[in-house]
Structure 1
Amino acid sequence: MHKIPVFLQQDRGFIYNVDDYLELRYTHRIVGCLIGVPVSKSRNVNISALPAVLSRYEMKLAIEKQIITVHNRTAELMQSPKEKNKSSYHNLIEKQASEQRAPYVEKRLSEFKKLLPQIIEGKRKKFLKAGSKDSDIHIDPATLIFEEKQKIETAAITRLIQIPMKHPILKEPSSTTLLLSAGEQVKYKVFKDIWEKQKMYITGGDTFGCDFLLYPGDPLYYHASHMVHVLKNSNLKTNLKYLIRCCRLSVVVNKVCVFAYENCQGTICYQTMEWEGNTFCIT
């Protein structure tokens, strides 16, 4: 099974390959967050804009399900590079320069060939002006092209320096344990339970003041249908004002309000609240 490489940076998982991200999104329903891409339901959104960042819950789930491999270079990047790594990096830079020079030479040579008749005529006029006889003037087009090619290949060019987002020298994946706090552990159990049982897309719910948003399909094409709030315990009456705020907000944004919690047996339970007149209906 192909495992998608994810690069751990500042405690977040980054994906830089478009195909890997699309596989993660459409095959495994792990959406992540595209950096610099606004939230939109438009079909014109450029989904290939990378990098993408996985939340801590998405990353932990993908590790457990053996969907991804984690590359953690934090410790190595804090140290001075070894000579072997320096050599490999310089080889990459030279390769990039060579790849940039090839199309540059081809373009300049193509332009030279288009102007070759005028160039030959200009040289002939110079020889005539210098006193040479027309019969003695012999200008070989192939020689001119060869000389121009040598000149272009040895000339200095303005190079584009690529700044890699991920480490350019890929190594074996690192064994990484993602530690979650007690509160995050409960939220992760809810996230995992929904992902395994409901077959819905799940994203963070910060924009709507909840823990998770549930989508019936890809969030690029569907609006969220449910707002999930993770509770510390099963007693919904502990904070009635909090429940009212959550439910009122869900009505305004036209979403179903769901409360999730872990019972004494360690099972994740759900309660849904909906408006019925002026009273709440708990289902």
Structure 2
Amino acid sequence: MEEEAGSDQSGARPASSKIQIHLLHGNAFIWNVEDAREIREKHGLVGKLVGALVRKPRQNTRLGLPLELLPEEARLLVEIGAATLVCNCLNQRDSVDPGDLPVGNTSLSAAEHEEQSSKAEAEAFQQFLQNSYEEQRQLALEEKRRMLESLSENINKGRSKRKRRHGDQEEEPMESSSHAPIMDLQKLEETFHFPEEAMMVQIPTARTSIDNIKEVDLCKASPDWPYTGEKKHELRFRVFRDLWKKGYYLTSGSKFGGDFLVYPGDPMRFHAHYIAICFPQDEEIALSDIITAGRLGTNVKKTVLLCSFNKEGLVTYTSLQWSGLQ
């Protein structure tokens, strides 16, 4: 099967609103939930969630952010103008340029500056929690006051009944009894208790501000992006891009012995139809490898695609299907 590459599925977006793909030792992560949603819904890229859920951290059945992207997914997003690669320059302690540090802190080492920055962020978060607690306490207090006001008549009746049941012969003046709920409302500000454990806490899915980040050049190899110039990555990327342009969804195919699993639609709705295995066109493939791939695809009910690209840059596909002796 041989076909020319088609057009991009989505156009470039303004540079000011590009998705930030955070790199760490060659791995690409998305921390913002809106970015993760856009990547899947608009660009047809899947990735995989690798973070633990806050309320269920001791399980791996359901995971949360960050979203880890394949190197091919990250590169594709950059090439179509939808994202930029960034990294925290303070992660590379030995290669920090003093000019990258904020003015006034050039005398500090990278570790000291990172420690100060983390301490400031922790203090700011604690202040945010305190302000949130005070706001929620005030809202709970107002709700309590409205409830008491709406139940004031029932409260008066209940107190009168309780006094009669305990044998109080002397009845309080009606005026004094009617003012009892008002006295309770006046003391409510002093007596009301709102426990901190009842406070709702917002759990952020991305840092609101990240300092000391720098953009990573896709064309230059670095510890955070070591794929530049790798023949295997170039082959995988060309195959990935070609299948993506044809409208397929792709995920890692390592669990089935391939490079990619190819889906006709979103993996939440479809099973994979193909196992894509990338081979350089001028490389000989051992017969045992072909037999193994063909039998594997048959056992899991998928078609194996041997993928490569020719001198003209066109991606070619050869499908394998195991059949018994007739």
1:179 aligns with 2:219: no
Q: 1:172 to 1:117 in 2, by over 3 A?
A: farther
- Count of residue pairs the alignment pairs up: 266
Q: 1:244 to 1:98 in 2, by over 3 A?
A: farther
Question: Aligned to 2:206, what secondary structure does the other structure show?
Answer: coil
In the alignment, what sits opposite 2:196?
Answer: 157
Q: How many Å separate the matches in 1 of 2:127 and 2:303?
A: 56
In the alignment, what sits opposite 2:317?
Answer: 270
1:81 aligns with 2:128: no
The Cα offsets for residues 244-282 of structure 1, whole Å up to 9 and x where unpaired, read as 100111122222211112445555332222345549xxx
Equivalent runs, 1:2-21 vs 2, <5 Å: 2-9=17-24, 11-21=26-36
Equivalent runs, 1:1-283 vs 2, <5 Å: 1=13, 2-9=17-24, 11-35=26-50, 50-73=65-88, 75=90, 79-82=114-117, 85=121, 88-113=124-149, 116-117=152-153, 119-120=155-156, 134=173, 137=176, 139=179, 141-149=181-189, 151-152=191-192, 157-158=196-197, 159=199, 164-170=204-210, 174-177=214-217, 178-180=225-227, 181-196=230-245, 198-236=246-284, 238-264=285-311, 267-275=314-322, 278=325
In the TM superposition, residue 7 of structure 1 has moved relative to its aligned partner by 3.8
In the TM superposition, residue 147 of structure 1 has moved relative to its aligned partner by 3.0
CA RMSD of aligned residues (A): 3.9
Q: How many Å separate the matches in 1 of 2:286 and 2:184?
A: 87
Question: Which structure 2 residue ranges, 5 or more long, are not aligned?
Answer: 1-12, 53-61, 92-109, 218-224
Report if aligned partners of 2:39, 2:46 keep a CA contact under 8 Å in 1.
yes
Q: Percent identity at matched positions? A: 24
Q: How many Å separate the matches in 2 of 1:187 and 1:208?
A: 16
Report if aligned partners of 2:263, 2:270 keep a CA contact under 8 Å in 1.
yes
The Cα offsets for residues 20-64 of structure 1, whole Å up to 9 and x where unpaired, read as 323211221111113479xxxxxxxxx996443222221121122
Report if aligned partners of 2:276, 2:304 keep a CA contact under 8 Å in 1.
yes
Q: 1:13 to 1:144 in 2, by over 3 A?
A: farther
Q: 1:179 to 1:135 in 2, by over 3 A?
A: same
Report if aligned partners of 2:281, 2:308 keep a CA contact under 8 Å in 1.
yes
Q: 1:213 to 1:183 in 2, by over 3 A?
A: same
Aligned residue identity for 1:218:
D
Question: Aligned to 2:321, what secondary structure does the other structure show?
Answer: strand
In the alignment, what sits opposite 1:40?
Answer: none
In the TM superposition, residue 230 of structure 1 has moved relative to its aligned partner by 1.0
Q: How many Å separate the matches in 2 of 1:145 and 1:10?
A: 60
Q: How many Å separate the matches in 2 of 1:161 and 1:136?
A: 44
For normalisation by structure 2, the TM-score amounts to 0.65
Report if aligned partners of 1:202, 1:215 keep a CA contact under 8 Å in 2.
yes
Question: Aligned to 2:290, what secondary structure does the other structure show?
Answer: helix
The Cα offsets for residues 191-216 of structure 1, whole Å up to 9 and x where unpaired, read as 123223x2211111122111101111
Q: 1:114 to 1:13 in 2, by over 3 A?
A: farther
Report if aligned partners of 1:33, 1:52 keep a CA contact under 8 Å in 2.
yes
Q: How many Å separate the matches in 2 of 1:117 and 1:20?
A: 53
